[in-house]
Amino acid sequence: MSETVTKQPESGAEAVSVRELDVLEQLLKPEVQSSLNTLVENLPKLAEMVTLLTKVYDVATTVANDKVLVNDMIHGAGDFIMPVVDKAKGLAAAAVEAGDRAQADATTTIGLFGVLKMLKDPQVQATLRFAQSFLTVLSERKNNAN
């Protein structure tokens, strides 16, 4: 059986010199030199970016730590979102109620005169106008795509 013997540096000075040699070997590689040249050429841009990122970080930290601002933003978003949520809940409740009514009236049939009577309803008229406009828009988009 073969054993690999690894030599541990015996003093701190030897460890430093080994690390220095590793760094020098890395610096002699062409790809490392190319990368360093690119970094040096772009240092002004990098410095500008670091400055900008530092400012952004400072602003974000200030905003995140400002409890009053965070609470105001939460309440402001709530004031904006709550009417939409309430409207969505109302529409969902109306849809559920309409579904229940439709199932309760499932045994009755709607005849031709019933349909004609429903066509006079303003809500039905508005819905039909919307459906017609929606289908027209879809048709126009389909024709434009071809």
Predicted local distance difference test score (pLDDT) of residue 40 = 94
Count of CB atoms situated within 10 Å of the CB of 26: 11
Q: What are the pLDDT digits (tens) for 105-114? A: 878 888 899 8
- What is the C-alpha to C-alpha distance for residues 140 and 125, in angstroms, rounded to an integer? 22
Instruction: Give backbone dihedrals phi and psi of 113, rounded to 5 degrees, phi first.
Output: -70, -30
Look up residue 7 and give its DSSP letter: P
**Three-state secondary structure string covering 33-60:** HHHHHHHHHCHHHHHHHHHHHHHHHHHH
Query: Are 34 and 57 members of one domain?
Result: yes
Report yes or no on 144 lying in a domain. Answer: no
Report yes or no on 30 lying in a domain. Answer: yes
Is 116:110 a contact under the CB 8 Å cutoff?
A: no
The number of domains in the chain is 3
Report yes or no on 6 lying in a domain. Answer: no
Q: What are the pLDDT digits (tens) for 96-144? A: 999 998 888 878 888 899 899 999 999 999 999 999 999 999 999 999 9
Query: Are 18 and 54 members of one domain?
Result: yes
Query: Are 17 and 59 members of one domain?
Result: yes
Report yes or no on 92 lying in a domain. Answer: yes
Is 46:39 a contact under the CB 8 Å cutoff?
A: yes
Would you give the end-to-end CA distance of the chain in angstroms?
76
User: Range of 100's domain?
Assistant: 66-108
pTM of the prediction? 0.42
Higher per-residue confidence, 54 vs 21: 54
Q: What percent of the chain has pLDDT over 90?
A: 61
Query: Are 78 and 53 members of one domain?
Result: no
Query: Are 86 and 99 members of one domain?
Result: yes
